Structure 1
Amino acid sequence: MLLEVRGSRMCTSVRMLAALLFIVLCIQQGHGQTCTEGFAYDRRARQCIDVDECRTLPDACRGDMRCVNQNGGYLCIPRSLYNQPYRPEIPALPDPAYSDTSVGFSDSFLPAPPRSAEPSYPRVRSTTQCILGYTLAEDGTCNDIDECETNSHHCNPTQVCINTAGGYTCSCTEGYWLIGGQCQDIDECRYGYCQQLCANVPGSYSCSCNPGFILNPDSRTCLDVNECEDEPCSHRCFNTYGSFMCNCDEGFELAADGTSCIDLDECSFSEFLCQHRCVNAPGSFSCICPPGYYVYEDGRSCEDINECDTGNNTCTTAQVCFNFQGGYTCLDPLQCHSPYIEVSDNQCMCSAENPACRDKPFTILYRHMDLSSGRSVPADIFQMQATTRYPGAFYIFQIKSGNEGREFYMRQTSNVSATLILARPIKGPREVVLDLEMVTVNNVINFRGSSIIRLTIFVSEHPF
């Protein structure tokens, strides 16, 4: 198109050229995590950056128009006009330049003075207004407006304003999330942030531990406490996961408080714990025996002390020491009363030639034995038999004296022997003297005689 200079300064042509310049600027205030139109949110930079519409929009400018990217928008300029250099000075024209204020800024294009060789073209003024979100500085540059600082944002009271290039973002503080435009508290306890106990608080949470645990430095996990380091138990302590257990030494039992140990009275468990008497001691017990006994190796049984063997007796040299269960006795030398004469240390004899011996036993033999008190019955305790046997003779065994309580009886076991039986228990201490008689009958020579065993039984005081 050829431009001719007329007196009207070609006002119509200038307006036509200005109409060819189509400026597109879409501005929309952003909030939340959305940016104003012309910007896109960069997740890494966490801010809004300019979108190059000339690259991203297909056919951003039609026809012979060239796309020029701007901060937050783009311009469409005729290619022939865009390629021509700007003139440094353009005289002002009396007619007002066309100004489009619908997009938030004004650009005036003034035609160049008429020249025969150069066509006229518009020039963008250096006083271009800034897009929304920016303000014009004194040096002519556009500076970002901090809507958060100037309180020109539209974030609701529950939100936090975060300034971005050319806009702002409405977000929530840590511990809250955006739901329906409102910042609502996150219940961290629902998501297992704490290992054991969790207490939700506005915008945060607090972890704690069960008894027996302490909170780790990460404020989330719990560490088992070794309570045994504080020695809570009287005797022995065993640490467990989250707790501890106390154990007592042998002879003690755990008290109701679970930590103290009290003595166990073993003697109260059974009367058979000791053979004689049980004595309780802290953590243990001991068995004691009556005089004349000592505690056996098992620690519970009582064993007789043989004072005659140990020499711990009061018998004289003329006496004979006889030991029995739990004691001893000193036997005086045998004295045979007339008409008996001594034939050995323990036997007296009455001679058949002596008329005084006619109705008396031929011999008296002295024997001694011991018997435990309360011995179970029946029991064979003594055996008697004939030492001299005559042809045609037979023998009768009987208890002649000393059995007034009928505790004993004789059972003949053969023609020449019999056994003394304990039929009833005897309680001691007691001394029983029995005359056991053996009657010899010989019808061939018409002989009848007897012999006596004088058996002295020492019954002990105790049943052992």
Structure 2
Amino acid sequence: MFASAAVVIVLLCSCLSHPTFGQECPSRQEIQGSLKQVQKLLSAHEASYLQSLRNLKKKINLLQSNTGKQTARANNTCTKLDAPLKGRKLGKSHSVGHEVHFLCDPGFELVGSESRICQDSLTWSGQQPTCRDINECASSPCLNGGMCVDEVNQFSCVCAKGWAGTTCQSPVPTFFVTTTNASAATSTVNAAAATTLPAATAGPFVRPSRCTIVQGTTHCTCEPGYTISGRDSNTCTDIDECELFHNGQTGRLCLHACVNTPGGYRCSCPAGYNVTRDGRSCKDIDECASRQNNCTKDQMCINTYGGFQCVRVDCPKIPNATYVKTSTMRCERNPCPLDNKACSQAPNSFSYHYLAVVSNLSAPRVMFRVSALRQMGDTLRFSLLGGRLARRHFTVQRSDRLTGELMLVSPVQGPATLEAEVEMSELERRVQLGRYITKVTMFVSPYDF
């Protein structure tokens, strides 16, 4: 364009300088008009050139600041994530839409995002998690003034004087019965040596005391877990720790049930639980992992607190639409004919999820999240389906642009089974593009542990 303007100027100048050459020159008015057009053309090109330079500088700066992101984008993957210290990472793919999960070693708890998704912007959702040492002493497991020492995946108790046991739960009796013998002769005899008195015999909850005479004074003691019975210094009776410490300030001896034994006690757990290593708490038995269940091959075993459930996922039957099972917990709709509007309005998919929770779980609390990998259309809606019972215990709220959360709004006393359905709808200018139903079933244990 600049070359064309230069040619026009040269021809005009040549015509003005050599009018005798015989060529037909334009009039002065035409020449002035042409020069104005050339001037405008040059000004427009100059402005366009300067704007192009500014845009080029911006693009260069953007490329320099996003070198790492552009490299990742060229591979269509997110940057590599490291496993947290004292933990591990599950998932090797860093492509868009893929998810990476994080777990901590025993004795450590996860702080941060349990899972992260590689987003369309080639950045990871959530925050990089860390593994924090679990403070086993946080629940104050040591009783009766005992000092707790936190260790890796366990704890130990340094008991105060007069107490013993894993959690300082058993008193160590220091009862003495003193009897003075007024006989001077006896005192003289016993001054030289101590004599052990004969012990009484009794059952497991009654034991003989251990008595000695030193310089005319009788001292009687009992084994740990026993105490002197009334005025009879020769008999020791069992201490009922379950009754003595049933509602103490330091808490119950046992999480579930306490059973008194000769000289001590033991904790018991309901069916479906085992007593933990500390002897006080209860740990759920995973009947599904240990194959202690009677679920058939066409059923899926769901472990619950204190038991298990056998479930079978069958695809729903909806008029004008057919569904096929694509996984053990998902059904998808077959493609619809172009002229079948009723089919296109049916849900695109049904997903089934099962949760096991304890009784009287504190609320409000997030129970489940439903997310879209990428948004289709201009609107994404989340809503709660179901009757009055579902709305009494649940609600649905938005956590970000692509995620909805199923919230438990009130505690539930077990045993109970609750169901909730979360609908995710995609719309474009208020026209429905797709519907996705997530059915969540919550099994509530009879116990709060």
TM-score (norm 2): 0.51
Does 1:256 pair with 2:224? no
1:212 equivalent in alignment to 2:167? no
SS at match of 1:397: strand
What is the alpha-carbon distance in structure 1 between the residues aligned to residue 189 and residue 299 of structure 2? 90
Q: 1:240 to 1:270 in 2, by over 3 A?
A: farther
Which of 429, 453, 456 matches 2:441?
A: 456
- What secondary structure, in the 3-state scheme, does the structure 1 residue paired with 2:289 have? helix
Q: Which amino acid aligns with 2:191?
A: L
1:396 to 381, 385, 391: 381
* Number of positions where the alignment pairs a residue of Structure 1 with one of Structure 2: 252
What's the secondary structure of 1:367's corresponding residue?
A: strand
Instruction: Give 2:327's match in structure 1, choosing from 329, 334, 344.
Output: 344
Q: Which residue number in structure 2 is paired with residue 366 of structure 1? A: 352
Q: Contact 1:340–1:348 (CA<8 Å) still a contact in 2? A: no
Q: How does 1:14-413 map to 2 (within 5 A)?
A: 211-212=180-181, 215=184, 223=191, 226-231=194-199, 234-237=208-211, 239-257=213-231, 258-268=233-243, 269-271=245-247, 272-338=252-318, 339-342=321-324, 343-350=326-333, 351-353=335-337, 354-390=340-376, 392-402=377-387, 404=389, 406-413=392-399
Whether the 8 Å CA contact 2:356–2:445 is kept in 1: the answer is: yes
Look up the SS of the partner of 2:392 in the other structure.
coil
Note closer, same or farther for the CA distance 1:357–1:266 as it changes in structure 2 (3 Å cut): farther
Q: Which runs of 5+ in 2 are unaligned?
A: 1-178, 201-206
Structure 1: state its 5+ residue gaps. Answer: 1-209
- 1:281 is displaced (CA, Å) by 1.9
1:221-241, CA deviations, whole angstroms, 9 ceiling, x for partnerless residues? 983773534447823335555
* Structure (1/2) with the larger helix percentage: 2
Contact conserved, 2:197 with 2:212, CA < 8 A, in 1? Answer: no
Contact 2:190 2:213 in 1 (8 A): no
Once residues 214 and 380 of structure 2 are traced to their aligned partners in structure 1, the CA distance between those partners, rounded to angstroms, is 83
Q: Deviations over 1:305-328 (max 9, x none)?
A: 111111111111222111111111
- Distance 1:380-1:221 versus aligned 2 partners, 3 A rule: same
Q: Secondary structure at the match of 1:384?
A: strand
Shift of 1:372: 0.7
Task: Please give the alpha-carbon distance, in whole angstroms, between the structure 1 residues aligned to 2:222 and 2:189.
Answer: 34
Name the counterpart of 2:10: none
Q: 1:442 to 1:254 in 2, by over 3 A?
A: farther
Percent of residue pairs identical: 30
Tell me if structure 2 keeps the 8 A contact 1:212–1:225: no
Offset of residue 333 of structure 1 = 4.6
Match of 2:137 in 1: none
Structure having the higher Rg: 1
- Say if 1:263 and 1:283, in contact at 8 Å, map to a contact too: yes
**Does the residue aligned with 1:308 lie in a helix, a strand or coil?**
coil
Mapped partners of 2:190, 2:281: distance in 1? 57
Q: Distance in 2 between matches of 1:440 and 1:302?
A: 45
C-alpha RMSD of matched pairs (Å): 2.9
Q: Offset of 1:215 from its aligned partner?
A: 3.8
For residues 240 and 374 of structure 1, the distance between their equivalents in structure 2, rounded to whole angstroms, comes to 60
What TM-score, normalized to structure 1? 0.49
Q: Deviations over 1:26-57 (max 9, x none)?
A: xxxxxxxxxxxxxxxxxxxxxxxxxxxxxxxx
